[in-house]
Amino acid sequence: MSRLVNMFNHPAMLVVLLGLAAVFPFVAANEYQVYVMALAFVWAIAVYGLNIITGYCGQLNLAHGGFFAIGAYAVAILTADHGWNFWPAFAVAGLAGAVFGLVVGAVSLRLKEHYFAIFTLCVGFIIYMLLDKWDALTHGPLGIISISPPDGFGFVDFTETRPFYYLVLFFLALAVFFTRRLSASLVGRTFRAIRISDDLAQSLGINLMRNKILAFVISTVYAALAGGLYAGVVRFIGPDLGNFMHTFDMIAYLLVGGIGTLMGPLLGTLIITWLTQAVQSLEEYRMIVFGPLLVLLVIFFPKGIAGSYQAWRARRASREMSADQRPSTGHDSGAGSTASTPGTTRAGPNSSSNATAAPAYAHTKTNESAGDSKGSGNA
């Protein structure tokens, strides 16, 4: 069992999982399953961004779905209305996510805890209203169609499902790799210190505002780039994409997988996506099904699947360490008492007097040793 645990937590396991994802199109039953998996990967990229600001830095951003929509609309407007190629539009989507994230973060992060969450919820609702009412720019409720897919430069046709699947998988691998490097870096440890306590972070000399804004901007760039990929694969978007319900969906993905873990965003997104596909007939009532399940999960597994697994592994390692220390401690104490009480191995009437004399004998030997050491020092 321990070998299995170590293998699962080995960094090479990420490569194995990505390898399994690479062969998925060849074992999928039909092209629709490949399409669903590609969309799940897109949402997982956005959830990794939410994990940075919420899981690592401890700030609940309820406008995350709005930044996802900003990235999607940036690609849609530039490609469908202005004739841009997908890749420049995709770069602009990431830049738009960074700029809007910087502006919103600089204002909202002056607030703390639930005040910050409420403020970002209002920001998300404003984004949704702008997408729905600004007809001249966003086409209003009609949405935008004929969005250009990524250009394959004459080598690959990304209008087909399988090539686009591998493109999204490539960006997902980059997102996981960057998140892993960020988590292990000094910046990642700084984010976690802020999550634990603002006062603690300040006492360590951490600039709270600068690091919070940095985490916020990184998360919004993730969301905007994921939105750009979503526009490229779906090729039609409407203002409902900016609905704040998408933010709560991503929070649910994060809760199921595990907040503040590396594999949690991917696991949670895949599990809920395929559960949703399994109960498509209940699409309108999915929250009736998933709501109680989510409540039970938060109660019994508050750290999510990946987080609960890590906690179990830590408890198991702690028990093994305690079990290893107990015999050695008992053996050492027994050996020490045997060495310091010569003559006590025989039971008899004088055993108690021998036991009483042993400390005095040990004390005398200690004083003699100390005297020898002092004499050596004087010499």
Higher pLDDT, 227 or 309: 227
Backbone angles phi and psi of 226, in degrees to 5: -65, -40
* Banded model confidence at residue 267, pLDDT cuts 50, 70, 90: confident
Q: Is 212 within a domain?
A: yes
Q: Which domain holds residue 149?
A: 32-279
C-beta of residue 83 within 8 angstroms of C-beta of residue 147: no
Between CA 63 and CA 175, with CA 238 as vertex, the angle to 5 degrees is: 50
For 260, counting Cβ atoms within 10 Å of its Cβ (0-12 exposed, 13-18 middle, 19+ buried), the class is buried
Q: Is 287 within a domain?
A: no
Q: Is 8 within a domain?
A: no
For 87, counting Cβ atoms within 10 Å of its Cβ (0-12 exposed, 13-18 middle, 19+ buried), the class is middle
Q: Is 145 within a domain?
A: yes
Q: Which of 24, 18, 310 is nearest to 175 (CA)?
A: 18
Q: Is the pLDDT of residue 147 over 60?
A: yes
pLDDT per position as a tens digit, 75-97: 999 999 998 999 999 999 999 99
* Banded model confidence at residue 262, pLDDT cuts 50, 70, 90: confident
Q: Is 121 within a domain?
A: yes
Q: Is 319 within a domain?
A: no
| Whether the predicted model's global pTM rises above the 0.95 cut | no
Q: Is 207 within a domain?
A: yes
C-beta of residue 143 within 8 angstroms of C-beta of residue 137: no
pLDDT per position as a tens digit, 228-257: 999 999 989 999 998 888 998 899 888 888
Lowest mean pLDDT, pick from 90-94, 185-189, 221-225, 257-261: 257-261
| CA separation for the pair 124, 247 (Å, rounded) | 9
**Tokens at 249, concatenated:** 């969906």
Q: Is the pLDDT of residue 360 over 50?
A: no
The region that residue 4 occupies, defined by phi over 0 for left and psi between -120 and 50 for alpha, beta otherwise, is alpha
* Banded model confidence at residue 108, pLDDT cuts 50, 70, 90: very high
Q: Is the pLDDT of residue 179 over 90?
A: yes
Q: Which of 88-97, 194-203, 260-269, 337-346 has the highest mean pLDDT?
A: 88-97
Q: Given this model, what pLDDT does residue 275 score?
A: 81
Number of domains in the chain: 1
Q: Is the pLDDT of residue 121 over 80?
A: yes
| CA separation for the pair 264, 271 (Å, rounded) | 10
Backbone angles phi and psi of 18, in degrees to 5: -65, -35
Q: Is 90 within a domain?
A: yes
* Banded model confidence at residue 296, pLDDT cuts 50, 70, 90: confident
| CA separation for the pair 77, 139 (Å, rounded) | 9
**What CATH number is given to the structural domain containing 225?**
1.10.3470
Q: Is the pLDDT of residue 379 over 70?
A: no
For 11, counting Cβ atoms within 10 Å of its Cβ (0-12 exposed, 13-18 middle, 19+ buried), the class is exposed
Q: Given this model, what pLDDT does residue 11 score?
A: 56
